[in-house]
Structure 1
């Protein structure tokens, strides 16, 4: 059986998105490979959650340089791996070259196209075709590029028939990232209260969000709010919602496959272009940087959209056309295809 090592982190500052998409890939490929994770020990890290999914986790001490991380990875992880998969904005060619000693092949998952890589396979599920030339200058000759939504790493739940869209929903979904370190969720709740909101609201937070207890205590008397902490049924929540308020990034793809219109606030610089592009395609309303968006702006956007059935139906159709099929299968096929060529 093949062996695959994932180098990925989660924290209160980073969020959980990188780990979640690596878990999606690990679960899919685990039928033919033993998968392991190596993560830095950070506040809000998710090693226990990863282990609960059935994968072993090696822990790196915080504060190491890339070269030191590579050396420690080799010491901790030990044996040779068919693939080392790296999903980390702070790692580049220095780390990737350093772990070649235990990696037959290296795969990078990226969204930024802003640094040089030493890899055999690179995935950017949010990239447009014009990004291909940029990545070509950042990767070695012969590196296979998997670019665009055809290769998106969405969990199996998003393709389950039982998660079909509920057309008569009156529920609002709020999800601003697994950690939401700046507590933008509170800003949304205050915006809802300012317009005397009474419809059901599903609020999703990660298990390591620093605001979980505070928010639930502060709004305990608001019976229209339903809390979902580190839930494993996001697809069901999305398919059961009329409208979402959320962040950019991979959440866009989850909402698109769920045909869910959204009001979006970007919580990281790398979310800005994709959110603007999708707003131009009538998939979402893009309010811009979350730090600059006030409660009045949020409440106005909700008020404008909520009862506009024609606009919402149009946005649902636009969203549903974005993500064509289960891209994780194509990613696994590419990994296994390169593995076979390596054996020849």
Structure 2
């Protein structure tokens, strides 16, 4: 009985954060689990993303609880990731499923799931109101990072290479602004821009020199890890991608692109895991200063301490027990 049903949504407008976190967890658990996703009206881009990872998708016509319950069996461990799954929704799913897991980052209201996951680095159990049976998996020890991201040695030719990613959708095309500023700081820099499956802005990068800027879209986790590993600097959104860079261990600048990223920014900055933490609109002088700091690597050694690479093993143990 190792059946997992992941319920998450994502669009160009809302971003793909919930889907990407759930997908990372699914990949960490591996083929020994029967994994499938339930997504409301998934776009072609989302379907291609899941197909690339060999994840079956159940298409839901609505976000209504009743429709999801028709897909839930008593053998399923259901994983919910989304802001719409309130206490009432969770209780109904838990009553029908074998077990319930909730991936959270808001810490609001009573938590009734069997397991609650929040990989924010500075969150504590005292911030949660839980049931006696609830297990909390909190902090960087439970970072939802695809197992393709592993620690790599610094590249010999990486000093003049940078990696840029501002999330799966990047609605406001922050990536373009970042590339523009990086080239003004270092005109010889070679930049790889990774655009998510839901990003509609690929055409806007045509005005950059092709010798300097390479735009990649719909990269697999392995491809993304390879690009990050070959770069001496990463400039990324203050989201799960920042944890992925830190797991590989690279000098990094993070940019807060959404309100719910504030705790991530505080954690990464206060633990000295980044060389710069910026907000929108991007301050060009602060970015330039952070780029200069990237040649020093104390943040890389701190990353290796916080992200120990054992999260996959921890999750496999937890979910094997849940499915028993």
Q: 2:214 aligns with which of 214, 220, 226?
A: 226
Residue matched to 1:185: 175
The verdict on how the C-alpha distance between 1:244 and 1:127 changes in structure 2, with shifts beyond 3 A counting, is closer
Q: Which runs of 5+ in 1 are unaligned?
A: none
Give the drift of 1:14.
2.7
Residue matched to 2:320: 336
Task: Measure, in 2, the Cα distance between the counterparts of 1:287 and 1:152.
Answer: 20
Task: Measure, in 2, the Cα distance between the counterparts of 1:70 and 1:308.
Answer: 49
- Taking the TM superposition and a 5 Å limit, the aligned residue runs for 1:5-84 are 5-41=5-41, 46-62=46-62, 64=63, 69-75=64-70, 77=71, 79-84=73-78
Q: 2:246 aligns with which of 235, 238, 256?
A: 256
**DSSP 3-state at the match of 1:39:** strand
Q: Does 1:215 align with 2:204?
A: yes
Contact 2:122/2:267 (CA < 8 Å) preserved in 1? Answer: no
- Taking the TM superposition and a 5 Å limit, the aligned residue runs for 1:1-344 are 1-41=1-41, 46-62=46-62, 64=63, 69-75=64-70, 77=71, 79-128=73-122, 131-135=124-128, 137=129, 139-159=130-150, 163-169=152-158, 170-195=160-185, 197-212=187-202, 214-219=203-208, 221-232=209-220, 233-290=223-280, 292-293=281-282, 297-298=283-284, 300-308=285-293, 312-340=296-324
TM-score, normalization: structure 1?
0.85
Task: Measure, in 1, the Cα distance between the counterparts of 2:75 and 2:23.
Answer: 17
Task: Measure, in 2, the Cα distance between the counterparts of 1:322 and 1:47.
Answer: 34
Describe the superposition over 1:86-122 as per-residue Cα deviations: whole angstroms up to 9, x where unpaired.
1112212122122234311000111221233320001
Describe the superposition over 1:291-311 as per-residue Cα deviations: whole angstroms up to 9, x where unpaired.
x32xxx23x3443344556x6
Q: Which runs of 5+ in 2 are unaligned?
A: none
Contact 2:2/2:323 (CA < 8 Å) preserved in 1? Answer: no
Aligned residues: 321
The verdict on how the C-alpha distance between 1:308 and 1:119 changes in structure 2, with shifts beyond 3 A counting, is closer
Task: Measure, in 1, the Cα distance between the counterparts of 2:182 and 2:30.
Answer: 43
Task: Measure, in 1, the Cα distance between the counterparts of 2:186 and 2:155.
Answer: 25
For structure 1, which segment, 143-152 or 322-331, has the greater mean C-alpha deviation from structure 2 after superposition? 322-331
Task: Measure, in 2, the Cα distance between the counterparts of 1:324 and 1:236.
Answer: 19
Give the drift of 1:188.
1.2
Task: Measure, in 1, the Cα distance between the counterparts of 2:39 and 2:259.
Answer: 24
Q: Which has the higher contact order (CA 8 A, sep 6+)?
A: 2
Give the drift of 1:287.
4.2
Contact 2:39/2:58 (CA < 8 Å) preserved in 1? Answer: yes
Contact 2:253/2:290 (CA < 8 Å) preserved in 1? Answer: no
TM-score, normalization: structure 2?
0.90
Task: Measure, in 2, the Cα distance between the counterparts of 1:57 and 1:101.
Answer: 23
**DSSP 3-state at the match of 1:312:** coil
Give the drift of 1:269.
1.6
Task: Measure, in 1, the Cα distance between the counterparts of 2:18 and 2:240.
Answer: 9
**DSSP 3-state at the match of 1:156:** coil
Task: Measure, in 2, the Cα distance between the counterparts of 1:44 and 1:247.
Answer: 24
**DSSP 3-state at the match of 2:102:** strand
